[in-house]
Amino acid sequence: MGNHVSDAYTLVVTSCCRFDLLEKTLRSFYAHGQLQAIDYAYAHVKTPLIFHCEDDWLFIRSGFLGDSAKILQTRSNVSMVGLRPRSELNPLVRNTAVQWLGEVAYLELDPRMHPEHFSYSFNPGLRRLADYRRLGPYAPLGEESDVSYTFKKAGYHIANLAVPAVRHIGDGRHVDDPNFAPRQRNLIGRLARSAHKRLKRLRRYAGK
């Protein structure tokens, strides 16, 4: 995909039966977002780098693997290198200043902006197997936000390439994780989820 990558990497693609989207993802890359599935797949990885991607992303440019590898090779506190456009990032970090590593432009997302986010994500991106082995497996930690919080406590943050390389193609195609209770879609269910999230985040703001 453009730039030379000195370290070998493994592509991990988790899928929730959206095979039409999976085909688009794989085709563009080569031209069970569930935590248990991730743990199972990562246990079979032997290469030092993993490119993790779910089945609802379209790759739109080349060179991102080499750029991402350069960042991971020089920034030990970067957990992963994201590829999404600035406009799709959380509004809290959309105004993050661009930094440069040689010719590679990227953003360093600040975990202090949120009690859970910006330290790890399962969005498309390159990451180290060593970091997973240090802090994983992920399933016992909880959800994606809990994994990010674990990385935050360990001193990590996310880098994101300034020149985007993916586009999300899965809007309206969310699939619930079968290992958790199905989300209640009614008003009471939404309010209960919101209250639970807010309480958990307040506890994490307080360092608990």
pLDDT(188) > 80: no
Residue 178 lies in a domain: no
Residue 64 lies in a domain: yes
Residue 15 lies in a domain: yes
Across-strand partners of 127?
50, 80
User: What average pLDDT does this structure show over 67-82?
Assistant: 98
Taking 3-state DSSP, the helix, strand and coil percentages for the chain, each rounded to the nearest 5, stand at 40, 20, 45
pLDDT(102) > 90: yes
Residue 116 lies in a domain: yes
H/E stretch holding 29? helix 19-29
Note the helical H segments in 30-78.
35-42, 64-74
Residue 143 lies in a domain: yes
Query: pLDDT digits over 5-56, tens only?
Result: 556 778 888 888 777 887 787 767 755 486 888 898 999 999 999 999 987 8
Rounded mean pLDDT of the chain?
A: 86
Specify the pLDDT at position 189. 66
Q: Up-side HSE of residue 19: CA atoms within 13 Å toward CB?
A: 1
Residue 42 lies in a domain: yes
Specify the pLDDT at position 3. 44
User: What average pLDDT does this structure show over 56-61?
Assistant: 92
Sequential DSSP letters for 110-152 = -GGGSSSSSS---SSEEEEHHHHHHH--SGGG-SHHHHHHHHH
Residue 202 lies in a domain: no
Residue 197: band (very low, low, confident or very high) from pLDDT cuts 50, 70, 90: confident
pLDDT(193) > 80: no
Specify the pLDDT at position 32. 44
Query: pLDDT digits over 105-138, tens only?
Result: 999 999 999 999 999 999 999 999 999 999 999 9
* Domains held by the chain: number: 1
Domain of residue 110 covers 9-171
Residue 194 lies in a domain: no
CATH number for the domain harbouring residue 153: 3.90.550.10
